[in-house]
């Protein structure tokens, strides 16, 4: 399997207690806490008309037999939030990257990075091993879906054993080759070397603001405290991230044509007409007799 990476770092072996303590201090100073591999589902996130849930998987995604339940739950949450979903200007990839660069340029981040680099002895880099997508919920059966999931497996490549790192990811959609538009930011979670038990899944319902079209997916992986992505994967690398047929829920409505039928009962109408004709004939006869 081809791996995708774009930055090399150094870290001390995981058995070094000093470095572990240092890492803990850095995490506290940055005000973030990493997720464990046993973490539960995260709170619902709402960005630009897209409503998402996310979780770090403790087993392969294919073994998760509760997917349909989670899809139904997310759809209910999206239905409740649809009226509040924002459809205004959405952030581009360039704008999100500028935010991270500004945050990493602060003196606090620079001091923490300098402190972390003092005792680093093991080089490592990041890569994506794989990324898969699934489509759910096409109520009008037009081939375009309002709910989809992205599951990715990111790894740390190192010769120093079980190296760990705290990371987060930014996810983007591109409509039919257009600009990359941000739709989800993951929480901070922990990668452990090349473990196959730290896959990350993002389940999303497009509530409103997304035209019926084909969308590509891009994922940027960031190491906490650094300005630039440490690994990127997109539709340029994998077909599974290419041309997803999507539309927002407000375009996926099922229209039921109401047919009104006026029932005419021939028997009742026949007797009524006969009664009227009989009354007319009797009246005419009475009139003629008077003459």
**What tokens were used for 118?**
């003092």
Tens of pLDDT along the chain (291 residues)?
Answer: 445 555 555 444 443 443 444 343 433 433 333 333 334 455 678 888 899 888 888 765 554 557 778 888 887 777 777 665 555 568 999 999 999 999 888 877 777 666 666 555 578 899 999 999 999 999 999 999 999 999 999 999 987 777 888 999 999 999 999 999 999 999 999 998 878 788 999 999 998 899 999 999 999 999 988 899 999 999 999 999 999 999 999 998 876 555 555 555 555 555 556 566 666 666 555 555 555
Residues belonging to the chain: 291
- What contacts 209, CB < 8 A, 6 or more positions away? 48, 49, 85, 87, 248
Residue that the structure tokens 């009962």 belong to: 265
Q: What pLDDT sits at residue 182?
A: 97
pTM above 0.95, yes or no: no
CB atoms within 10 A of CB 58: 14
Residue that the structure tokens 């080759």 belong to: 177
Q: Coil, helix or strand for 277?
A: helix
What single string gives the DSSP state of each residue in 146-194?
SEEEEEEEEEEEESSSS-EEEEEEEEEEEETT--EEEEEEPPPEEEETT
Q: What pLDDT sits at residue 264?
A: 53
Q: How many angstroms separate the CA atoms of 131 and 150, rounded?
A: 7
Q: Coil, helix or strand for 272?
A: helix
97-106: long-range contacts, CB 8 A cutoff, minimum separation 24: 97/220, 97/228, 97/229, 100/222, 100/227, 100/228, 101/227, 101/228, 103/227, 104/225, 104/226, 104/227, 105/227
């Amino acid at each position: 399997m081809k791996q995708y990476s774009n930055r090399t770092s150094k870290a001390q072996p995981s058995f070094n207690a000093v470095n572990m303590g240092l890492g803990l201090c850095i995490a506290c100073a940055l005000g973030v806490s990493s997720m464990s591999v046993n973490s539960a589902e995260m709170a619902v996130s709402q960005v630009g008309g897209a409503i998402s849930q996310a979780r770090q998987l403790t087993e392969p995604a294919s073994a998760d037999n509760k997917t349909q339940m989670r899809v139904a739950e997310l759809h209910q949450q999206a239905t409740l939030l649809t009226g509040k979903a924002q459809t205004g200007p959405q952030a581009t990839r360039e704008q999100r990257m500028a935010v991270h660069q500004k945050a990493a340029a602060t003196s606090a981040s620079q001091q923490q990075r300098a402190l972390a680099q003092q005792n680093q002895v093991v080089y490592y880099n990041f890569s994506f091993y794989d990324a898969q997508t699934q489509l759910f919920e096409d109520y009008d059966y037009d081939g375009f879906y309002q709910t989809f999931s992205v599951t990715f497996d990111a790894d740390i490549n190192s010769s120093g054993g079980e190296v760990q790192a705290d990371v987060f990811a930014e996810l983007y959609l591109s409509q039919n080759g257009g600009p990359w538009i941000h739709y989800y930011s993951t929480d901070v979670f922990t990668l452990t070397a090349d473990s196959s038990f730290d896959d990350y899944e993002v389940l999303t319902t497009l509530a409103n603001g997304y035209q019926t079209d084909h969308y590509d997916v891009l994922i940027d992986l960031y190491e906490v405290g650094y300005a630039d992505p440490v690994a990127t994967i997109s539709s340029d690398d994998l077909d599974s991230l290419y041309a997803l047929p999507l539309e927002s829920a407000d375009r996926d409505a099922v229209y039921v044509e109401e047919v009104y039928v006026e029932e005419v009962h021939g028997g009742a109408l026949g007797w009524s007409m006969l009664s009227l004709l009989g009354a007319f004939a009797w009246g005419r006869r009475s009139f003629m007799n008077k003459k």
